[in-house]
Amino acid sequence: MTSNAMMSVSSLNNKIKSLLETTFIHILVEGEVSSATYHTSGHLYFTIKDSESSLKCVMFKSSVTKLKFRIEAGQHIVIEGSLGVFVPRGEYQFYAVHIEPYGQGALALAYEQLKEKLLQKGYFDPSRKKLIPKIINSIALVTAKDSAALHDMLKIIDKRWPLLEVTIVDTLVQGDLAPTQIAKAIRYADMLDVDVIVAGRGGGSSEDLWAFNSEIVADVFHEAKTPIVSAVGHEIDVMISDFVADLRAPTPSAAMEMILPDKQEILQILDAYFEDLKNNTIRNLSLLDKQLENVNENMRRNSPYSKIAYMEQQYREIKDDMMRISRFLTSNFEKFPSELEKNLQNQFALILHQKEYLLEELKKHFILANPALRCTDGWSQVLVENRLSRLENINVGDRFVLEDSTAKMTVDCIEKQPIKR
């Protein structure tokens, strides 16, 4: 054994700690994650490996909160940090301050991780999408109040549907605080009882738009009772919010074009409806006029006065015919005895008298049958179970109805006396 100075275990571990921590500072190490544990303290403990060895690593809470994606077993990552030694146990480990996916951006990996997680939770299910109303009377715009996106949306609203009631809900749309503020703004807008919510912002880098790829924003989109339109960035930008929202618009301006009616189109439709209504009204009035004419003609032909006039005409024609026949017979029977001629004249006179009497009776019948005239004479009709009846058929104790053109009453028979004529 050599005469080297003897050291304690702690002394040796401290020397190793000093050597390692001054030699391996801000280095990059790549490997595959073999295990990962997120501690309740907020720290992340994980191990990376290659084909021959492994390395224990730790990332403290202050650095974990800045990670854009979740560390999981099987990932190939690149770690930035330094080596350190835990003196009490004589163990060394890698203290990570930043982690990136190997060959892939952290944002891209975080995007795919969250997308897969929300897909499994059913956030993208088409059956859960709420329908955007065809006619929108009120809208909430969740965006930055001084943004170009808000200006563009208001411009389209004024052009297409200026009757719209607009509520602007101001919020940050980028930065670390943006996801929380956006979620809060969506919850507030959801309580306004508007027809639809449009959330979004104009274009920018992936980092600028990242707030709309956060899980907290996806959750509030999914939980909202009001239909939500996601209108973030440009057409090539596809956010997590686009998948969760009830409708995805490529830009804020396009969102207004997609959900709002065009006032010019509405006016044209109303003009067409008015023209159809006018034409239908004219046709219906013309048809009603013809029907009214037919009813008046039928009433004229079937009225008692028309029938009396017709019978008078028939009577005059019969009378004229009888007179012609009488003159003919008289002229041809001059050779017969005067007694026979007198009998014939008396017979003709009797027939004419009977016809005249019959005509007068018919006139009286039609006149008496006219309800208006009968009412003026105090006429009323007797109804038993809604059927016409004669008083002689009513017995003491029976209930019946008396009705004229002005009133109807229900009466009980308490006494009955026949009328002898």
Q: What percent of the chain has pLDDT over 70?
A: 92
Is 252 within 8 Å of 202 (Cβ atoms)?
yes
Q: What percent of the chain has pLDDT over 90?
A: 37
| Domain extent listing, the chain | 9-104, 134-261, 304-369, 374-412
> What is the pLDDT confidence band of residue 112, given thresholds at 50, 70 and 90?
confident
| Residue, of 104 and 98, whose pLDDT is higher | 98
| Residue, of 415 and 420, whose pLDDT is higher | 415
Is 98 within 8 Å of 81 (Cβ atoms)?
yes
Q: Angle at the Cα of 315 (from 309 to 321), degrees rounded to 5?
A: 140
DSSP 230: E
pLDDT score at 388: 83
Average pLDDT, the chain: 85
pLDDT score at 56: 92
Q: CA 136 → CA 126, 162, 190, 229, 371, distances in Å?
A: 22, 11, 15, 13, 61
**Res. 84: pLDDT tops 70:** yes
Helix%, strand%, coil% for the chain, nearest 5: 50, 20, 30
Is 160 within 8 Å of 260 (Cβ atoms)?
yes
**Res. 20: pLDDT tops 90:** no
Per-residue pLDDT tens over the stretch 341-378: 677 677 777 877 777 777 777 776 666 555 555 555 56
Its CATH architecture, for the domain 134-261, is: 3-Layer(aba) Sandwich (3.40)
**Res. 293: pLDDT tops 80:** yes
The DSSP H or E segment spanning 282 is helix 263-302
Q: Which CATH class is domain 9-104?
A: mainly beta
